Each structure stands twice: as structure tokens, then as C-alpha cells.
A and B are shown apart, each in its own frame.
Chain A
């Protein structure tokens, strides 16, 4: 049992290792030297947008600029900068667009609030529709008049005979 666990652990570990090797050779060397710093680099890189390939983070992207920015982040980590200082460094140069999670402020209000507003609007419309529908059904749900009832009976009988 214990052995099986160890084998699983080994396979899992080597899988992790191979994805790291794909990332780039420099990362691998640095990870060996300082795993804590590399973990921070990884975390920060996942928050930052690569401006060349705009739908990738600088952790995913292998564009020149992404590599340069990773190198820049790595240097700043080595220099003992805090996460906030590093993120600010990027924002000063590339703007809020570099952040995968843009801050909530005037210009991004629609971005953050839009989905909630749309959902509330949808709920409101659904509720209005349901209410109208139920009043309509109530209105239609009158008992048949004697005349209609006898007509309906006649029709049903006709159907039975066929």
C-alpha cells in the first residue's frame, strides 16, 4: 500500500517536473536554486497579462516580452520587492490592462457591475413575465358556460364513435 502511494507520488512529481521543463530552462535552474522565489514568480506571472498575446498571462506566454517581464519580476523578487511593488511597477508602465483582475474604479465599473446588473434585469423580467402569465391563466381559467359544455360533450362523443 505504501509502495503504491510512493509510486503515485513519483509519477505525479515527474509530471510536475516535465511541465516546468516545458516552461523554460532558466525557470528550471532558478527553481532548483530558490523554490520559494520561483513559486512567487509563478503566482505573480499568472496575474499579469502579456500585452503581445493579450489573452495569455506572462506565465503562459512564450512571447519575447513575456520572457523579458518574467526576467524583470525575477530580478525584483531577488531584490526583495513586495508583490505590491512588483505589480505597481507593471501598472505604471503598461496600465491597468496588464492586470488580469483590473481594480474596481470608475472606468471598470461596467466591467465588474455589468453582469450583476444584467442578471438583476433578467430576474426582474422573468418575474414580470411569470406574474403576467399567471394573471392571464387565471383570466382564462373560467368554468365553461352551459353552452360551451354541451358543445364540448358533443365533440367528445363524436370522437368516441370514430
Chain B
């Protein structure tokens, strides 16, 4: 009798292990960038294309960097949360528009000249924000996704919280739900802004 308990126990342990494993989110890859300085960039600002912005300009502030794109379906899902956030909270929210044109998949990039891509990207991004509301203090345009690679972006939307010293304190992959905002992001912002 005793050894059957033993087998049953081993089986239960295996089931528990698999249950935990299956409930983990495989997308939740820990970012090595947390705790490191936000990678530098200097990208054109959507509203004022002749100006550029980079993390240096945000030094001394706690801010959010949100990676988005008009072709990204999950961004649409999180957008109302961001709009609500921007109304209520006085924390700069910088949008990083990621591969607006070439990420879409509907364009033959080998036939599109760079200036046309740029024009189209600005136009599409502006239109999307006009349509869905603009929660961003500013949006910068990462046309070819190079900055995205520096930030380890692999699934839009992604959100980074960067502290006053320019250190990345948190990364969230996937859409921000009201729960994530209330339970993870707001407490961290309050702590960093103390």
C-alpha cells in the first residue's frame, strides 16, 4: 500500500510541474535590459518631423516608452487603456512607432524609395492617432526597426518604464490591461516618482 502512495505522490508532483509550466506565458521572456540604461536613439518626432528626440532629452523624468504601430492588432486593444492613463496621470508617455510601413507586410519594400516610405509612415501614424485618440506626449518614428532591435522588441506592443537616471526599470511585453496598469505600472511609477 505504502509504495502506491509513493507513486501517486510522484505523479501528483509531475502533474503540478506540468500545470505550472503550461500556465507560464512563453512570451514573458525576461528582458536583460531591465536595470540597464535605456539604449540611446535619435529619431524624428511624428508631430514635428524636423525635430528629433532621444532618451537623453527625458533625463530627470520618470517616463514610459510604448512601442506601437497602426498594423498591430493588440495595440488597438491596449490603446483605450493608454488614453485613459494619459488623461489621469501626469507621466510622460513616449510612443515609439515601430516599422509603420515595412512591418505591415502589405507593401513591397524593394520597390519603395526611402522618402516615400517615410512620408507614408508619418501619414499612417498621424491618421491612426487622429482616429483612435493620441495618448502620447510625443511619438518618435523607428522606420526600419533598428531602435526596436536595440530595445529587444520582438512583439509589439511593448512598454518600458524608465527612471530619472535613464535606467529601464520594467518591461512589459504585450498589451497593457487595466490590471497590469493598476497592479504593476502605477505602483512602480509612484515609487520612482517619490
**What is A's interface to B at a CB cutoff of 8 Å?**
51-52, 54, 64-65, 68-69, 72, 91-97
Tell me which of B27-35, B120-128, B159-167 binds A. B27-35
For chain B, what secondary structure do more than half of its interface residues adopt (helix, strand, loop), or is it mixed? loop
Any A CB within 8 A of the CB of B9: no
B136 interface residue (CB < 8 Å to A): no
Q: Out of B26, B32, B99, B103, which one reaches A94, CB within 8 Å?
A: B32
Q: What A residues does B145 contact at CB under 8 A?
A: 68
Q: How far is the CA of A51 from the CA of B32 in the complex (A)?
A: 14
Chain B residues lying within 8 Å of A91, measured Cβ to Cβ, are 32
Tell me the smallest distance from the CB of A24 to a CB of chain B, in Å.
11
Q: Tell me if B149 and A69 are in contact (CB < 8 A).
A: yes
Chain B count of residues within 8 A CB distance of the other chain: 16
Q: A52-B154, A54-B26 are in contact. Are A68 and B32 (CB under 8 A)?
A: no
Asked whether A52 lies within 8 Å of B155 as measured between CB atoms, the reply is yes
Measured CB to CB, the nearest residue on chain A to B102 is: A64
Q: Which residues of A contact B99 (CB under 8 A)?
A: 64
> Can you pick out 21 interface pairs between chain A and chain B where the beta carbons lie within 8 Å of each other?
A51-B154, A52-B155, A64-B99, A68-B145, A68-B149, A69-B149, A92-B33, A93-B32, A93-B33, A93-B149, A93-B150, A93-B151, A94-B29, A94-B32, A94-B152, A94-B154, A95-B29, A95-B30, A95-B32, A95-B152, A97-B29
